[in-house]
Structure 1
Amino acid sequence: MDSGERTQLTRQILAENLRTVDEPRSDDPLLEQRGGGPRPRYAPHHTPPEVIRTASPRAANPGVAGSPKESPTSETGTRTSHAPDGGYGWVIVFAVFMITVIQDGLTFSFGLLLPYFKEEYEATDGSGSAVNSILMSFTFFLAPLASILSDKFGVRKVAMCGSIIAFLGALLSVFATKIWHLWITYGGLIGIGFGMIYLPAIVTAASWFEERRATAMGLAVCGTGVGVAMFSFTVEPLIAQYGMQGFLLVLSGIVLNVLVFSAMLRGIPHSSYEKRKAQRRRSGRGGRDAGDEVQMEPLNEKAAPDTDTAAPAAGGRLPFLRQWQYWVMLVVILLCGFSAYIPFMFLVSRAQHDVGRHVNGQALTYITGGLNVVGRLFSGFLSDRKWCNRGVFYASSYIISGLSSIFSWLCYNFETFAVYGAVYGFSGGIIIALQSVILSDIVGIDNLSPAFGISLVVLGAASLAGPPTAGAIIAAQDNEYKWTFVVFGVIVLIGGVIFLVVPLGDLCRRLLGKRGNKYTPPQPGSVSA
């Protein structure tokens, strides 16, 4: 064979490989293997051919030595980094747990602080609750910015900067003399700091796990309930001992501890990717198969030895915006973000109004926070079971939460309020623990950061309007709290019923034999690709 024939043959081989990469046939049996991992449970049933990228038959086949089965190619065109499912990931879980102990504990125990804010700064229910409303809104509104900054500078640096800002906000609150001063310092600055921490921490923890993601996330975010219980025992004694200014000074020191745990965050390492590339190059030089000589790498892939950035979005695109399930999720988040935080904020005030000032607000907050922890742990354990349908589980928790607020109309003493707080805390813990897990089921782990960021913006807008609206209703009812709990409970109930459309819609499609956007019942270890 002369040089001209060899050149012609080489060009044919290259053309065939490129055609295989860019235009995969629908009947190609290797297409079933190229994904390397399960699709997002809410992903479209058919994969668009133009977004499937693979290296070669050797790289595509997870059963061939040297193939990157631990880093499969996703349907959005990028390779999904393989999650270690343990190791340093458990350190990340502990760090996120401690971050949520302080951050969410402070946020969700605000109901204990509200009476003191009203007395110290001569505030109303509406103006006092606006402090926490602003805090939560900034926390959620800054999620997209935190995602962008994390991709550029790394989750550790962004979270540490947020910790310092939150500390300064708590420290400056010591000098507040009017309630609007706290809007700026306690609500604004602490909210900005927490906003730079929340999304990077949650996404980082989720990216380290695949098979045990629900369990890991349940453990990570159960710090909320622990924090609520911790603050329930410390707020009133600290204020009684040191006054409001002294309490805020101590609080600033507590918030500063978030800096330590933020320093523990890091993304999954990518050094193994370079080793796989080198191994595949060596196997290519071995001359086993001419088809393996050309190794096509996935598009938009950047390998780094070790990075603390979270899982990036697929090539800068937002493919999840084409999924109707994601839009249903946003509607549910909007409704429930508007109403779900009201009991945490007004439960103590309502119990003391309806029963008497002698009601132990610490005990009510402790019960609510303690059952919140149990709910989060229970959700992580149960949702990883093969027979558990996460979609139904998630929607049912909303429905139970809404019904409990509606029937809180019947509460008349400490015991009945304690039962309501327990049920509401338990169901609320399940909802919060499953939120990022359900989102990753819908959009895939590679798109979790931008999808979570958008959902948090929606949540921030809703939480900004919810507490002041509740305060206005309370004022219009002559400081009567019952109707507020009923109205907002109905809104939560509606949100849960709406989300049931997703799993029940898939069930109907199965029964009718139709094909479309498919919801697959959860299986342990199944993650988005």
Structure 2
Amino acid sequence: MAPATATKLGYTPPDGGWGWAVVFGAFISIGFSYAFPKSLTIYFKEIQEYFFVSYSEIAWLSSVMLASMYAGGPVSSLLVNRYGSRPVVMVGGLMVSTGMILASFGRTIVHLYLCVGVIGGLGLAFNLQPALTIIGTYFQVKRPLANGLAMTGSPVVLFTLAPLNQFLFDSFGWRGSFLILGSIVLNCCVAGALMRPVNKNAQSKSDPPECNGAAAEETATSDTSTQSANLLTKENQEESRSQGCVHKIIDPTLFKHRGFLIYLIGNVVMFFGFFAPVVFLAPYAKHQGIDEYSAAFLLSIFALVDMFIRPATGFIGNTKWIRPRIQYFFSFAVSYNGVCHLICPLLPGYVGLVVYAIFFGLAFGMLSALLFEVLMDLVGAHRFSSAVGLVTIIECGPVLLGPPLSGALVDIFGEYKYMYYACGVFMLVPGIFFFIMHYFNYKKLDEERRQTVALEMRTCDEAVQLKMSQDGDST
């Protein structure tokens, strides 16, 4: 097992026990958060024809839903810090269910934007953020593995929903299907019930583990305030939360954090091409004359490969060879996605799309399993909630604009290959950026660590010399 990264939580995470039940709850919650917008693409062609809208206009449906999910991150973080993960996830499940039921009565595409996109997207935000945050409170040494298992929920749910949605559409139409999906998504409430808060008082205080990159860049004031907040008694904990909640969600000091800035800049570019290839996979197949079930089966193939690669990525990321330089692993995953999209239009026929779905599933699963783990590695578990809140609200711009812009390319040129070329560039460029910047970041962190050790040794030597001189004077 790789050495644990540093934590300033003020307690020792259990790294197991009820934490595995929490991982299962996060598995369901994260699964619906990421898979639900993708699975709805099965209905895009029919909804597009029903409302007589363009490719760009129908793409706004998933785009608004994903953007609302990202934009709702800070609000979700605020509620998690105030009430905990369990009630927030349960409310989120009710919101998504309500949005889908209301959408089943929709008469215009704008109605679907509001119900599925805004209400459903905010509900997914209340599912995603708490699930990501609570894993960091239960796991430290095994955190990459726990994150990898939890993130596997997305392909598992997508693998199930893709053929199910096609069956529901054939049996009940898109309106009846939305009504049924509104009841299925209530499973998120069950997942939320599993997210019991960690018992911090029962955990023994141990010596701080080995420092990582995040610890080297943090100030003593931040460390002290974080430890103090976690050691508060139950009587004054609620008061402290109400006073410091906004600062914990909107933490401006993160914009001075070198690793956070690298992550943010690369991700903003990356998310312009992140979701569109999945959103348009089934419509692309139907555009080539492939039948509906075969087009839906492409999503199942994609999800099946994604399902197995995510826990494998978590296991590999937790090894002693990868964990200390996990940012390089993430850089490779981003670049690999870009290469897959660039090759996609060159693969002929349905067999070519199957090959693309397999390799894209590998690439997407690797990236998704590492997406939040590398952020936690950079900023530390205790600042992760604030970092996720800032990242998601900034990323909602490219998440919102990416699929409609890709759809506009299809409207303009009448074919999908230019959309896939554009997405490939948007993924490959930040992948190269990550490789270069993390090389310099790791180099800088090593220099800072050596300087810190040298300073401590010099201080220790001075203290020893001072004590020896005092002893000599006394004799």
Instruction: Within 5 Å, give how 1:107-122 maps onto structure 2.
Output: 107-122=37-52
Query: What's the CA shift string for 1:210-238, capped at 9, x where partnerless?
Result: 11111111111101001111011111111
The answer to whether 1:142 aligns with 2:72 is yes
1:485 to 412, 420, 426: 420
Structure-2 separation of matches of 1:449 and 1:348: 34
Residue 194 of structure 2 corresponds to which residue in structure 1? 264
For residue 75 of structure 2, what is the amino acid of its counterpart? L
Question: Is it true that 1:499 corresponds to 2:428 in the alignment?
Answer: no
For the residues of structure 2 that align with 1:517 and 1:132, how far apart are their CA atoms? 48
Q: 2:255 aligns with which of 300, 312, 321?
A: 321
Residue pair 2:333, 2:366 contacting (<8 A) in 1 also: yes
Q: Please show how residues 298-337 of structure 1 align to structure 2 within 5 Å.
A: 299-304=228-233, 316=248, 319-337=253-271
Structure 1 unaligned spans of 5+: 1-36, 41-71, 278-296, 519-529
Q: Distance in 2 between matches of 1:501 and 1:329?
A: 12
Distance 1:126 1:342 in 2: 11
CA spacing shift, 1:123–1:304, aligned 2, 3 Å: farther
Match of 2:345 in 1: 409
Aligned-residue CA RMSD in angstroms? 2.9
> Rg: which structure is higher?
1
Normalised by the size of structure 2, how large is the TM-score?
A: 0.83
1:448 to 378, 384, 387: 384
Contiguous gaps of at least 5 residues in structure 2? 207-225, 452-475
Q: What is the aligned counterpart of 2:62 among 99, 124, 132?
A: 132
Alignment CA distance shift 1:102-1:482 (3 Å):
same
Give the whole-Å Cα distance in 2 for the aligned partners of 1:182 and 1:315: 35
Q: 1:118–1:125: 8 Å Cα contact kept in structure 2?
A: yes
Shift of residue 508, structure 1, vs aligned partner? 5.2
**Which residue does the alignment assign to 2:272?**
338
1:364 aligns with 2:364: no
Aligned residues: 423
Match of 2:159 in 1: 229
CA distance in 1, matches of 2:158, 2:335: 23
Q: Percent identity?
A: 23
1:433 equivalent in structure 2: 369
Counterpart position of 1:377: 311
Distance 1:146 1:508 in 2: 35
- Quote the residue 1:152 is aligned against: 82
Pair 1:452–1:298, CA change in 2 (3 A): closer
1:422 and 2:380 are equivalent in the alignment: no
Q: Does 1:94 align with 2:24?
A: yes
Q: CA deviation at 1:315?
A: 8.0
CA distance in 2, matches of 1:410, 1:461: 30
1:64-120 deviation line (CA, Å, top 9, x unaligned): xxxxxxxx7x3xxxx433211001100000011112333322122233221122123
- Contact 2:275/2:399, CA 8 A, preserved across alignment: yes
Query: Structure 2 vs 1, CA of residues 379 and 201 (structure 1 numbering), >3 Å: closer, same or farther?
Result: same
Letter in 1 for 2:336: I
Inter-CA distance 38–320: structure 2 relative to 1 (3 Å threshold): farther
- Tell me the distance in 2 between the aligned counterparts of 1:338 and 1:369: 21
Q: Which amino acid aligns with 1:339?
A: G
Mark the CA change 1:133 to 1:507 in structure 2 (over 3 Å): closer, same or farther.
closer
8 Å Cα contact 2:10/2:231 also seen in 1: no
Query: Equivalents in 2 of 1:341, 1:441: separation in Å?
Result: 24
* Correspondences of 1:5-24 after superposition (within 5 Å): none
Report the secondary structure of 1:127's partner residue. Answer: helix
Q: CA deviation at 1:314?
A: 12
The answer (yes or no) to whether the contact 2:85–2:197 under 8 Å persists in 1 is: yes
- Separation in structure 1 between the aligned mates of residue 188 and residue 227 of structure 2, nearest angstrom: 38
Amino acid at match of 1:176: G
TM-score, with structure 1 as normaliser: 0.75
Aligned to 2:142: 212
